[in-house]
Amino acid sequence: MEISFVKPALPGSGTIVLLVAEERGLGPLGLTVDKAAGGQLVRAMSAAAFIGKHDETLTIQAPAWFDRVLLVGLGKLDQLKPTAIETLGGTIYSQLTSAKAGSATIVAELPEDAPAGLNIATDLAQGALLRSYRFEKYRTVERPGHKSALTELTIAANHPNAARTSFGRSKAIAEGVFFTRDLVSEPANILYPESFAERVRERMTALGVTVEILGEAKLAKLGMGALLGVGQGSERETQLVVMTYNGAPKVKNKRPVAFVGKGVTFDTGGISLKPGPGMEDMKWDMAGAGAVAGLIAALAGRKAKVNAVGVIALVENMPDGKAQRPGDIVKSMSGQTIEVLNTDAEGRLALADALWYTIDRFKPQAVVDLATLTGAVIIALGGEFAGLFANDDTLAEQLLAAGLESGEKLWRLPMADAYDRQIDSDAADMKNIAGDRGAGSAIGAVFLKRFVKDARWAHLDIAGVAWSKKDKPTIPKGATAFGVRLLDRFVADVFEH
């Protein structure tokens, strides 16, 4: 789909989309269309009791010279925010797709008393673009009615050049989101640690990002026994991928901000085998690593003025004769020993070494990890929020704010000393589970906390938000790429110079 920006004018054909603020009626161009259609729009609005509530839509077929007019409600002006406008963009795309529209023009006009600072044209375009994503590369037969006919989307705005420039940044972020969605959507026979690492190398090299891939020999030399233990039952070689983006080489404080991702490309649970039903979903147990890769791609794509590092631990958790057993004790890169009581609590083992390595090598200003770590966070927060744990209140507040701005929402959860004491082991320095089902997400977080030294650190448990079982306005059913837009906003607000 090609998206373009033009000055406000009525198109000569196709579908036209008009925005209507709640109880405010049509704008100037809308009234022009209504006049040309002999008052058909106003009559249809009255008959349908359409008043412009947020996300309310009304389609009028063949008025004047248009194929159709789609009216879309903005809602109350004082509640209009960028995320709400993006949602409208996604809704518009869905409506146009359902109508099999080949081309459409959105009239991006707001009443004069709308809140200042809104970039409505860019946000509408971003929402439509994010909703347009499809992962259908393995289908040999097109599903009836599923393919969008929409090839051209034009947005009429008062300042099209400014919108075009702003959309360049938004498009780079969307491309990072799509890279993550592609990675997370791939089946595990196609995307395994080595192939994941090569895809990252190919994409990042094209963007000017330095990539290092550490194989098992190097990981063993570094002492990453926790990470290597997870993968020892798999025929696939465990990998650690380091992405270094230097977008602000002249700043005084060259220490980067770091992001670490759990990349379990398939998780059977190992010897602590998961139940069969639903195990196919474990192809996306690498969504944290996918989000880190997409974030670095987004930062590089929009030429963010920041120094950033992304580290992803890529491993497959399989139950063969060489697999790690419950009761095994492994030594992490930090020197701390871990009694592995449950091989299905493997993500924290992979992250333990990845976090220690990242902090020890790069001395980052802050480090954020992302992981589909626990099913417990789904019980706590469902699919609406990711769990946030942090050892620094300021960092937590910055991430919470970025979540609200980006629409990828977080909820802070506690890390009490009482939880930490529950992972003390009689046989080693710690054990990887507490032994009961209580506070599972917090137990995972306090385990990770033992591997971050005194760094400013936050942990995002994204197990409930990494995959959507239904279509949402800007997220088609499937991989969400949660974390890419959140952390891009966080970087822009806090670290860009």
Active site residues: 274, 348
* DSSP output for 309-326: EEEEEEEEE--STTS--T
Which residue spans within 268-403 are E strands per DSSP? 307-317, 328-331, 337-340, 366-371, 386-390
Given strand 257-267, what is the order of strands in its sheet?
A: 210-214, 239-246, 307-317, 257-267, 366-371, 457-461, 386-390, 410-412
The answer to whether the beta carbons of residues 496 and 202 sit under 8 Å apart is: no
E strand or H helix at 395: helix 393-406
Q: Please report, as a single letter, which amino acid is at residue 467.
A: W
How many Å apart are CA 381 and CA 362, to the nearest integer? 33
C-alpha–C-alpha distance, residues 431 and 327, integer Å: 9
Here the tokens at position 97 are: 């797709």
As given in the structure block, the two tokens for residue 489 are 């906003």
Residue 346 DSSP symbol? -
Q: How far is CA 9 from CA 108, 133, 202, 364, 443, in A?
A: 11, 29, 43, 50, 58
Cβ neighbours for 123, distance < 8 A, ≥ 6 positions apart: 82, 85, 86, 89
Torsion of CA 244, 250, 251, 257, to 10 degrees: 0
